[in-house]
Amino acid sequence: MASGDAPSGRSPHESQSYTYFGPPPFRVPGTLRAAGRAVADAARRLHEHLRTVVVLAGPGRTGAIGRASAQALLEAGVDVVTFGVDPHPEVPATHFTGTLPEAHVYIDALVGGGQEGRLRGTALEMILALRARAAPIVAVDLPSGLHPTEGLIGDAVAATVTIAIDGMWPALDHAGLAPFVGDLYLWRPGEDGVTRLVGGPERTATGGWRE
């Protein structure tokens, strides 16, 4: 896919500084829950005895999917700590104080395709704290810190698995970004599971999910 091509099923939206291809909001709560279940399933596949998960959730659609995954994991008996800026009645967010607790798996749902420049402030502090952890990371839509069309423009999350949501951002197709994207899967509304698209670099230290 060329850098300027729109991912399948996505429409162009204007930001303050550039045109990027963003998905329309998910208006049906059931769709959000289904996407969250797919992300939660990815987390379970990355650890045989999953007991603890940390979710980083931003204020947009990506964060909403992250919170939906947290809810799905909580319902499955997993201990989940969510850090975020958008309140949620069923998944309360923990205040970020500069460090992240240890967990079996981390879910990066901070920014996704809404990236509009280098990360700053609390979002940057969160991903730097996340990079200090060795456990597997599931990125929702796009690893935080990657620009959806330009790719690496500053500090970014190096994900073990990325779950693209209803289409693939151009940056995910950049071969040089494979260490940040990891194994790439696609989830679409109406599908029970995800489709594997690209296998990332081997990560024998943290295990992996390669079906």
pLDDT of residue 86: 54
In this prediction, residue 81 carries a pLDDT of 93
**What is the reported pLDDT for 136?**
96
Query: Rg of the Cα trace of the chain?
Result: 15
- Here the tokens at position 61 are 């659609």
- What pLDDT does residue 201 have? 58
Residue by residue, what is the 3-state secondary structure of 128-150?
A: HHHHCCCCCEEEECCCCCEECCC
Instruction: Please name the amino acid found at residue 200.
Output: G
Q: Which of 139, 211, 130, 128 is CA-nearest to residue 171?
A: 139
Distance of CA 199 to the CA centre of its chain: 16
d(CA 99, CA 81): 13
Residue 170: name the closest of 61, 25, 21 by CA. 21
Task: Write the DSSP symbol of residue 94.
Answer: B
**Tens of each residue's pLDDT in the chain, 211 residues:** 333 333 434 333 332 222 223 344 444 467 888 999 999 999 999 998 999 999 999 888 899 899 999 999 999 999 999 998 655 555 566 878 889 999 999 999 998 877 777 888 888 899 999 999 999 999 999 999 998 888 888 888 999 999 999 888 889 988 889 999 999 999 988 876 788 887 665 543 444 444 4
